[in-house]
Structure 1
Amino acid sequence: MRPLLGTLLVVLIGLAAAVAIGFYPGFSTTSDVADDEQEGFDQALVIKFSHVVAENTPKGLAAQRFARLMSEKTDRRVKVEVFPNAVLYNETDEMDALMRGNVQMIAPSFANLSEHVPAWLTFDLPYAFLSDEAVQEAFDGELGKLLFDKLASKNLVGLSYWGNGFKQMTSNRGPLIHPSDFKEQHFRILPSKVIEAQFRQFDAKTTPIPFNEVYRGLESGVVDGEENTISNIRTKKFYQVQKYMTISNHGYLGYTVLMNKSFWDKLPGDVKKPLVEALEETAHWANENAIEMNRRQLEELRHQGGLEIHVQTPEERREWMQRWEPIYQEFEATIGKDVMSRIRRLREKYGS
């Protein structure tokens, strides 16, 4: 009996060690998922998807949905591991992590992507998109394809557009109704030259702050206000540290689902095909869900009280647009005439 017990003990110890270091079939804890050891995909292929927002936001929910669809469409041969809330990388380093291959997918905001590819500043132009229909046409049409084409030089592949919603203005110092109301106030912004210019035109100061540090910045008074979607204001509880909000819909916040190109090129067709299908289905759902979430959560903010909400009038919108019009000329060379001409056509089409 002793030899048999000894043999069983050795086997059990070996299995425990295998699980602990990630060699158990179908299980992987390695960070180098793009390494040669996975080229054969004889075990479950792991795709690490890192993002910086909460799980209950439009992007967080979309990432979870995409992961489920990939598992279903590949009979669990592909496992998408989603890491929310900047647990792996924050806004300032997720792009570099993707380029190095430390993760395989991210979904940065358009503004964060513009630091690497200036043409993406187009999404930060104030009042570039005047309706949800204009946004969807940009995603699905010539503009979306043109911007994806500009990613190739950075070893990136653009796979999908996910919406979050239109941005609103918030502040602690007073209502934001006219451009003069912004004077000398200090706003948190995403790292975007266009957004910086937007506030500069209103004589306001700006400081870029990573998303997961915004609440602390507002609470401590480092900044007076910020611009964001209703869903972000609600889920991150910015309403607890802000007194005033203007429903201005002056800008659009969305995300680009990106993959490391070297990793993408190694994927076989029977993985690429369901991946593209899963992203298409997710994008359709996500963009509709973002509209509904923002509508519902605005009502929740109204009912709970504590935040003074002003809805911008058509006259006030024209006043803001007029002050911001010089920004288009200022950034045309940086963004590119090919991109800017398409933005102008969208504004004309949906501005009537």
Structure 2
Amino acid sequence: MRSFVTIGIFVLVGLITAILIGFPLHSSKPLPYDAEQAGLKDRIVIKFSHVVAENTPKGLAAERFAKLVHERLSDRVEVQVYPNGTLYTDKHELDALSRGDIQMIAPSFSNLTSAFPSWKAFDLPFAFPNQQAVDEALQGEIGKQLLGELTNANMRGISFWNNGFKQVTSAQRPLIHPEDFAGQTFRILPSEVLEQQFHALGAEAVMMPFTEVYHSVVRGDVDGQENTISNIYSKRLYQVQRYMTISNHGYLGYAVIVNRSFWEGLPADIRHELELALAETTQWNRKLAQQLNDQQLNEIKKSGMMTIHQLTVKERDEWLKKLAPIYEQVEQEIGAPLLAQIKSLRHKYDTHSP
């Protein structure tokens, strides 16, 4: 009798143990293979950090790139997009990329000027009369030189994305003549050239991350700012700034940059597929940026919340006259050959250039 009790206890303990550790009770077969879950641990993750809204040219391009990579390499690569500065602000994303904490960013050209002075060329006022001039610069020797400077910081520039030309806004008064800027404070990207630009116009300039602009404007910490239409629209700046001048005085573009160690360590076939996806995204972005800026300018006009002034050729020449000394100030930092190329492009495409 005692032996039966002993056997019963052993059976009961075995059953409980099987349940607790999850073994099937009636089969010795192994658990089914889950290909999707098994592949996750081997999947290459690309963390793509940026600071603008999802519905901007850069935000939409980042999402499209992630989608194309998912379609072509879903079992091997995942692109995780972090918009609106949720992972790193524009102040910290360069260092994070260089360290390898993230693998991909797309900072504005201005955000590169502190570490790489030659990029100041793109902040020069009225340097590029139209998109064709910008495209020729980026796709030619100028773009090649600028991207080449990134390699010393464990970075590699792999593409350029467009946003568009910048306009100026103010809560105080219309900005038509240079003297209209006097006594006002404007938010700018971290660039000495942009700071010199507003000082030349008699205004103060405050450098701050893009994620802080809306609240700074609402609080009255700054009177105005400069930005593309898509950024003015997506951040609702047109709702808190009364005046806007369509000036096209500067260009806002992005350099798509990866961590060089990470990029060069990728298998060659994966890197090739990523380059194809990026090239397709870049072409798509070029068309989208212009469409968005045109469409959203119409939306701002329809809202009736801003007084909008289109700068005339005569008024632009007034601004140029005030801003001309900046070219001489910047020449030492970016070099005479680069400045000469910029000036040559300006004269090539600007029929109204003085």
Match of 1:173 in 2: 172
1:9 Cα deviation (Å)? 4.0
Matches within 5 A, 1:194-343: 194-343=193-342
**Cα gap change, 1:349 to 1:7, in 2 (>3 Å):** farther
What RMSD in Å do the two structures reach over aligned CA positions?
1.6
- TM-score when scaled to structure 2? 0.89
User: Which ranges in structure 2 are unaligned for 5 or more consecutive residues?
Assistant: 1-10, 24-35
**Cα gap change, 1:162 to 1:210, in 2 (>3 Å):** same
Counterpart amino acid of 1:227? E
Counterpart amino acid of 2:21? V
1:239 Cα deviation (Å)? 1.0
- For the residue of structure 1 that corresponds to 2:39, the secondary structure is coil
Percent identity over the alignment is: 51
Distance in 2, matches of 1:9 and 1:145, equals: 62
Please, which moves more after superposition, 315-324 or 235-244?
315-324
- For the residue of structure 1 that corresponds to 2:38, the secondary structure is coil
**Cα gap change, 1:7 to 1:125, in 2 (>3 Å):** farther
Distance in 1, matches of 2:128 and 2:343, equals: 10
Preserved CA contact (<8 Å) 1:70 1:76: no
Larger Rg: 2
- TM-score when scaled to structure 1? 0.90
Matches within 5 A, 1:152-167: 152-167=151-166
**Cα gap change, 1:5 to 1:292, in 2 (>3 Å):** farther
Match of 2:65 in 1: 66
1:279 Cα deviation (Å)? 1.1
Distance in 2, matches of 1:116 and 1:349, equals: 30
Distance in 2, matches of 1:6 and 1:128, equals: 75
Counterpart amino acid of 2:338? V
Preserved CA contact (<8 Å) 1:146 1:339: no
Distance in 2, matches of 1:315 and 1:321, equals: 10
Distance in 2, matches of 1:129 and 1:9, equals: 70
Preserved CA contact (<8 Å) 2:154 2:260: yes
Identify the match of residue 26 of structure 1 among 36, 39, 49: 39
Match of 1:7 in 2: 18
Give the length in aligned residue pairs. Answer: 328
Deviations 1:221-252 (A, max 9, x none): 10000000000000000011100000000001
1:75 Cα deviation (Å)? 4.5
Preserved CA contact (<8 Å) 1:99 1:155: yes
Q: 4+ residue stretches of structure 1 with deviation over 6 A?
A: none
Distance in 2, matches of 1:351 and 1:76, equals: 49
Match of 1:347 in 2: 346
Preserved CA contact (<8 Å) 2:39 2:75: no
Counterpart amino acid of 2:273? P
Distance in 2, matches of 1:7 and 1:62, equals: 51
Distance in 2, matches of 1:5 and 1:163, equals: 63
Preserved CA contact (<8 Å) 1:49 1:105: yes
Matches within 5 A, 1:125-164: 125-164=124-163
